[in-house]
Chain A
Amino acid sequence: MKMKIKKFFLILSIVVLLTGCAEERVLEDLGIITTAGFDKGEDGPEVFGTFITYKFSQQLSNVNSPIHSSGRTAQDAFHLAFAKTAKKLVTGQLRAVVYGPDLAKEGIWPHLDTLQRNQFVSDLVYITVSEMPSREVLNAQVFEEAPNVGIYIYRLLDQVIGKEEIVDSSLHEFIKNYLKVGVDPITPVLSIEEDRVIVTGLGLFQDDRFIDTIDLHEAFYVRLILDEFKAGELQIELPTENYRQFMEDFEPSPEEETFEITMQQIKSASQISPKDSGKYHFSIKIRFEGDIRELTKELDLESKEVIHMLEKDMAKKIEENISKLLEKTQELNVDSLGFGTFWNAKFKGDKKLTEEEWRKEYPNFQFDIDVTTEILRHGITQ
């Protein structure tokens, strides 16, 4: 017994001593990349990379100094950046990737594939597109309390997605939507305003090619169809005409043909189902409820009539907006809302859409939109 134990510890200690083998990545020696931006290089097929890293020093942390490098591919650009910093660049804490518009329009799948293959990159990395070259976005000098602009972008997206303004756009979601037949990926679009990074809307992709942007207003409807709201917010314009009789302080001012209504605490649920009628015909049912928070005109909200009218008009308006959005996607031929998957989930065999059919047929898809709204409360005042 004694011999065995001795033997065991001998072996153990030998193994331990033998192994300086495991590759060390000591925290403070690393250039931990938080956000990477990729642009098309000036000449030829080059990719121009911008990398934001942590700086572990309080004196330096307020200065934004991205590392730039270019290479044939994104991975190459990353590799070639090693000579531009004293720290070892690593991607394990990557939070967001920003693709410049030129690059995104050519297709980002090759770059995403390398990200996906890299086991150190989390699947929760945000994939974004920028309106201007990403190096300009990442050069923003204002990033609040965040240690660097990369973390600022991450917190910004976290906050915006958490507030249910736009849909989630992690690496996993993007790849899933890209690889699935019947749905196209969406990403947030970043821009720069007064030297700070902002989210301006959603980028619509056809496969991996960036096609167009929709603004945050329209983005609301994307989310409304795709996802549930638990506590969203919506601003909507309604025509003044019908409500004249209920307006207490109505002053005839012909130029104000519409008034605005803001809803909050929105809960919604949507249901998309293909109709089996040979044609590609879908019904979209949306249930929508929330509280009124703000009206630009004073209305007599105690009357049930007004509430009913508001509900009806809002539903109509939402339906209109949705169909406008859908028309836009059909014009661009991007099925960002994934109607193809709903079709494929219902039908098998011949009726199933292949990739080509879906691309070809999507502009001809027809939609029945049916929105029911309900106003639950109207603020804390009558």
Chain B
Amino acid sequence: MTEQDPSPPTSKKNIAGELILPISALTFTFYYIHTVIDSPWTAQVNAFMVGSILLTVIGIFLISRIVMLVQGSAKFHITVDRLPGVIKSRQSGFIGLTISYLLVIESIGFTLTTALFFWGSMLLLDYGRAPAVKLALAIFMALVAYGIFILGFETRLPKGAIETFLARAL
């Protein structure tokens, strides 16, 4: 991912990172307008009112950044995140675990996925220290979450083998 350059005041400002959001907003606005182009005016009011203001503001922003580039007070340089390697790998690993959590939860159920997620992320973030303690903690926290959300508030979270077993046991 690109990132705003946290460089000292004397060096040039890297504008690559701060363009991500305006470009995403621009793309989404054009897509949104495309979805309402043949619709009645009631569906178009917001697209044209809010959309036109957003496009204008983004236009001003882009012009200001181009001027900065031309004047030499800014640079455009796509860099990979400048965080130290250890932190970067922990962060990417944690984001990966979160995505896995979302992908797996429907297949194996809330409690087991939550326990595995807690265990995996705690190990990852603590450099693999004390795995047994963390496993016990992860199981405990997952069971607390089961108690609060499924038993207490009767939330219909995805159920798997653990939920079926606990429902029979309790």
A and B from one assembly?
A: no
A interface residues, Cβ below 8 angstroms from B: none
B interface residues, Cβ below 8 angstroms from A: none
